[in-house]
Chain A
């Protein structure tokens, strides 16, 4: 079972920055995600790890869109992995999936970034 946390943490992996997303992504995640993005500043690919995420609401979608907008402005490649089938469906319905690469796991995301 994946470890879950309300924090967002940042790590470097094979020339990419990985943000391990919180268990619950809602309006209370704003400070954590903004801080994580700043900590992950750079030009390398940005990977959002949703493996430990159990809940995302519309405010959480807005925060993810905000991260995608910042990455786009900075010309960064951005991808996501570890979404449950339900939240993958939500990424498709909202069309976020059209603008962010979706991968099943970390290995595929690292291999798939260009």
Chain B
């Protein structure tokens, strides 16, 4: 039986909690995994998930305080990319990702917002949230090859 290879850190950086920095986060993560051979469609999904998780960290975890950084770590295991996005959330639990009620939103019965966690969950293979009284970390796992992704490039 082969040994499981240890995780290799590809990049580690921080960004101020300023709206719009989520695009910088997703582009830097994409650049850091450029050599791993993630198919184009899966890369686009991961980029969307990273942008959403970073925006969530900026808006909710760090409450838009520019002096509180969002910390991002990108790692590679055999066959997968792992991105961890950490904010300074104060122990408030990140809610479960639920499916938005689009009919209610279109009928004006609900706010049109509320897509972030749903998008993240549906873009990556695994989404895990951990935390303590001072931090939240959202961990996104994307396998390099998806067994059921017929649309992959």
Chain A positions near chain B (C-beta within 8 angstroms): 24, 26-28, 55, 57-59, 61-63, 65-66, 68-69, 72-73, 85-86, 89-90, 93-96, 98-99
Determine, out of B30-38, B86-94, B114-122, B131-139, the stretch whose residues face the partner at the interface: B114-122
Are A58 and B55 CB-contacts (below 8 A) given A68-B106, A69-B108, A85-B151?
yes
Cα distance A27–B29 in the bound complex, in angstroms: 22
Main DSSP-derived SS at the A contact region? helix
On whether the beta carbons of B119 and A90 are closer than 8 Å, the reply is yes
**How far, in whole Å, are A28 and B19 apart by their CA atoms in the complex?**
9
- CA A63 to CA B112, docked complex, whole Å: 7
Q: Which residues of B contact A (CB under 8 A)?
A: 19-20, 22-23, 41, 44-45, 48, 51-52, 55, 100, 102, 105-108, 111-116, 118-119, 122, 151
- Whether the Cβ atoms of B48 and A90 lie closer than 8 Å is yes
Query: Most chain-B CB neighbours within 10 Å: which of A27, A28, A63, A65?
Result: A65
A-B contact pairs, 25 of them (CB 8 A): A28-B19, A55-B23, A57-B22, A57-B52, A57-B55, A58-B116, A58-B119, A59-B113, A61-B115, A62-B111, A65-B102, A65-B112, A68-B106, A69-B106, A69-B107, A69-B108, A72-B107, A86-B48, A90-B48, A93-B119, A93-B122, A94-B115, A94-B118, A94-B119, A96-B102
